[in-house]
Amino acid sequence: MAAIEKYDLIVVGAGPAGSAAALVAARAGLRVIMFERGEYPGSKNMFGGVLFGHDINELIPNFWESAPVERALIEERYFLVSGSSATTIALRTKDFAEPPYNGFSVLRARFDKWFAEQAVAAGALLVCETLVESLIMDHGKCVGVKTGRADGSVYADCVIVAEGVNSLLTRDAGIHQEWKKNEVGVGVKELIKMPKDVLENRFNLKGQEGISMRILGLTKGMTGGVFLYTNKETVSLGFVAMIEDLAARGFKPNELMEEIKSNPMVAPFIEGGSTVEYTAHMVPEQGYKSVPPLVHDGLLIAGDAAMISNLLTGEGANLAVTTGRLAGEAVVAAKAAADFSAQGLRSYQDALDASYVMKDLKQFKGFAGYLHGNPDLMELYPQLANDFLKGLLTADGTPRGAKAKALLAEVKKTKSLFGIAKDLWRGWRVIK
Amino acid sequence: MRLVVCLKQVPDASEVKIDPIKGTMVRAGVPSIANPYDMHALEEALRLKDKYGARVSILTMGPPQATDVIKRAVSLGADDGVLLSDRAFAGSDTLATSYILAQAIRKMGEEEAIDVVFCGKMAIDGDTAQVGPGIGSRLDCAVTTYVVGVRSLDKDKKTVVVERRLERGVEVVEADMPVLLTVNKEANDIRYAALPALIESIKYEVPVWTAEDVQLDLAQCGLKGSPTQVKKIFPPPQKDIETVMVTDTISDPAQIAKLLVDKIEEAGMLA
C-alpha cells in the first residue's frame, strides 16, 4: 500500500468545531483530512442540544433548509422551583419562528453527520472509527498525528484539535493540566419520546415551533440546573452539575435524574413519555479562566477542546462553530503565507479576541465562580421568590400592605436585605 | 489467483423491530451493517491472499448505499468490488438472487478467471443459507458449506483443503477449484483496517452494474423471478416463564445441587 500523502490540514474530531474548520479549509482548496473516533460524526455526542443558528448561518446560508434541525425555539422559560411552587419568567416571541430564526433544537447524532457531510462535499476526507492517539511533534512543532490503526501516522502542515471537552491530546502535549474538578461539570440527559400532537399540545407549539426551559432549584443546592427542550417527537430533559459538588455530596447522577423526573414541576412535561436514550457527558464550566493557549507551532485548538463555552447563556455548539471557522480561516491564511508557525497562525487568536465569542467569555469570566460561591442562588433564592409571591397572591383577608411587610420580615429572618443586595450586586458586577 | 466474496448489506439485527400490525420489518432509521457471516468469509479470502497472493473482488447486490460494505471490504484488503443495483432486482427471493449473483460472477470471471467464491453461511436478515449453494449450483462448481477454515490450497493442482464444522465433528474435505465455500463465524477473527488502506477505501469509487450490464433474463429477476414471497414476519411468541427464586443459606455445592434438583422435580419439569 502506498504511503499516505501529506495533507495541508489534519482536523481531529468531526463535531461542530472540526467540521466548520474542515469546511472552511476545504472550500479554500486545501487538502484536508478529518478524523472521527465514532462510527460516524455525532455518534459519540450527547443526543441533542440547542444550536443557536447565527454562527452556522455565516458558513452555510439558510442552513435550516437542508440541515436536520428539530424545532425552532420560540420560547425561553426560566423556572425557580422550591417545594410545590415555581416562579417562572419567560420570553415567547413569534419572531424566533421566522427566518433567520434564533436557535434550534437539534439531535446531534443527525446534525453533526450532516455538517460533516458539508465538509466532505467541499473536498475534505473524513475518516471515521479512527482514534487519534497522539500528536507528532518535531522540535516543538506539531507535524502530524498518530492514530490507533496500523501504519497510522499522517503528516500535515497544521493540526486543529477539536476533539471535545476531555482533550487528552492537548493534555498529553503539555498544553494544559488535567482539568480540575471545578472546571468541568457533568451533563446527564434523557431523550423522552412522546407522540407529536401530545408534545405540541403540552407546550402550546405549532408546526416547527419549540421551547427551551431552564429550571433552578432542583439540584439540591449544587451549582447547576435542569434543562428541558423540545425536539420533533422527543423531549430532552437533563441537568448539569459540577463534578466537584456531586463528588463531595456523594450523589449519583442517575439517582438525581430520577428525582428530577418525578418532581411535581417536571413530571407533567414528560408524562406518558418513554426514555429512548440516556447519555452523560462532561461540559466545560469555567469559561474564560480555563481556556488554554490556543495557538502553537503547527497546532490550533478549537471548540470544547478549547474549553470555550458560556455557562450564562447556555451557548456551546455555536461557539464551537465559530472557533472552528476562525481556526480554518487562520490555516488558509497561513497556507497562503507558507508560514504554519505560531506566528503564522496567530490570526486565529486575533480573530477570536475580536469576535463576540471571546468578548462574551471575558465579560462573564467571573460568572461560574460567582455561582459556585453562592449556593443560596440555587436553593434559597427560588424559595424566597416563591414564598414572597405566594404569600402576596394568597387571598386570605389580610390587607396586602400589612402582608407585604410581614413577608419581608420573613425574608429578613432567612437572609438580611443587605446580604441579598450584596449577592445581587456581585451578580451584576460579574456580568456587566 | 482470483477470489470473489459475496457481501450483503443487512439491517443491524440488534436494532430491528417488527411492526406488530403490518407484520413487516421496521427498517426506517435502522443502521445497515455488512452481514457478519460474509465478513468472516471475506477474512478467510484475505488470509488466502496474504498467504498465496490473490486478487480479492467483492460482489454486493443492494441499494446505492450498499457501496458502504464494499468500501469496508476494501479498507480491510480487498482489491476491488462491484455493486449490483437495479430496481429490476427488488423483491428477489433466494432463487432470483442466486441467479443474478451467479450471472454477475460469470461476468466478473470474463476479465480474470475465478478460483474460489466465498459466501457467508447465511445472512442474518433472512437466515436461509440458500443463496451460497444456489450460486454454486448455477456456476456448476463444487460447493462446500459450513467452512471453518481453509487448511491449504494448491495453485498448480487447483485444489483446496477445507475444514467443515458438522454436528458430529469436523470434516476435512478436498475440493477442485473453482469452488464455492460458505463460511461459519467461528472460522476466524476479522482484522482491523490499517490506515493507508482505510484512506484508499474512502476514496475508492465503487463500480455499479445494472441489469443491463449483466446478461440477465429479467423474467428470472425480482418479484417476477421469485416463486416465494414473504407473507408475514413476526417475532417468536413469548413463552410465559415462571421464575422461582430459591433462597437458602447452604453453601455446600453438593447440597445446593440437590436442592435445585428437588425444586425442579417439584415443578414437574423432570420427565
Number of domains in chain B: 1
Taking the C-alpha atoms of residue B40 and residue A104, their distance in angstroms, rounded to an integer, is 44
| Domain that residue B148 falls in | 2-220
CATH of the domain at B16: 3.40.50.620
Number of domains in chain A: 3
Q: What is the mean pLDDT of the segment spanning A376-382?
A: 82
Asked if B195 and A3 come within 8 Å (Cβ–Cβ), the reply is no
- Work out the minimum CA distance from A384 to partner chain B, whole angstroms: 48
Q: What is the pLDDT of residue A185?
A: 84
Q: Is residue B239 part of a domain?
A: no
Q: Is the pLDDT of residue B36 over 90?
A: yes
Residues A115 and A218 in one domain: no
pLDDT in tens, A4-20: 899 999 999 999 999 99
Residues A49 and A158 in one domain: yes
Task: Work out the mean pLDDT of chain B and round it to a whole number.
Answer: 91
Asked if A125 and B199 come within 8 Å (Cβ–Cβ), the reply is yes
pLDDT in tens, A235-290: 999 998 888 888 888 888 888 999 999 999 899 999 999 998 888 888 877 678 88
Sequence-distant (≥ 6) Cβ neighbours of residue B239 within 8 angstroms: none
Q: Is residue B263 part of a domain?
A: no
pLDDT in tens, A123-141: 999 999 999 999 999 999 9
Asked if B195 and A150 come within 8 Å (Cβ–Cβ), the reply is yes
| Domain that residue A376 falls in | 368-431
Q: Which residue of A has its CA nearest to B29?
A: A110
Higher pLDDT, A73 or A167: A73
Q: Is residue B82 part of a domain?
A: yes
Please tell me what DSSP assigns to residue A178: P
Residues A274 and A322 in one domain: no
Asked if A125 and B200 come within 8 Å (Cβ–Cβ), the reply is no
Q: Which residue of B has its CA nearest to A40?
A: B31
Residues A378 and A259 in one domain: no
Q: What is the pLDDT of residue B126?
A: 80
Q: What is the pLDDT of residue B271?
A: 64
Q: Is residue A378 part of a domain?
A: yes
Q: Is residue B19 part of a domain?
A: yes
Q: Which of A264, A284, A304 is the last residue of a domain?
A: A284
Do residues B100 and B92 lie in contact, with contact meaning Cβ atoms separated by under 8 Å?
A: yes
pTM: 0.86
Residues of B in contact with A2 (CB under 8 A): 196, 200
ipTM of this complex: 0.84
Higher pLDDT, A48 or B190: B190
Residue B14 sits at the chain A interface (C-beta within 8 Å):
no
Asked if A151 and B203 come within 8 Å (Cβ–Cβ), the reply is no
* HEC sequence for chain B: CEEEEECCEEECHHHCEECCCCCCEECCCCCEEECHHHHHHHHHHHHHHHHHCCEEEEEEECCHHHHHHHHHHHHHCCCEEEEECCHHHCCCCHHHHHHHHHHHHHHHHHHCCCCEEEEECCCCCCCCCCHHHHHHHHHCCEEEEEEEEEEEEECCCCEEEEEEEECCEEEEEEEECCEEEEECHHHCCCCCCCHHHHHHHHHCCCCEECHHHCCCCHHHCCCCCCCCCCCCCCCCCCCCCCCCCCCCCCCCHHHHHHHHHHHHHHCCCCC
Q: Is residue A87 part of a domain?
A: no
Please state which of the ranges A185-189, A408-412, B241-245 shows the lowest mean pLDDT. Answer: B241-245
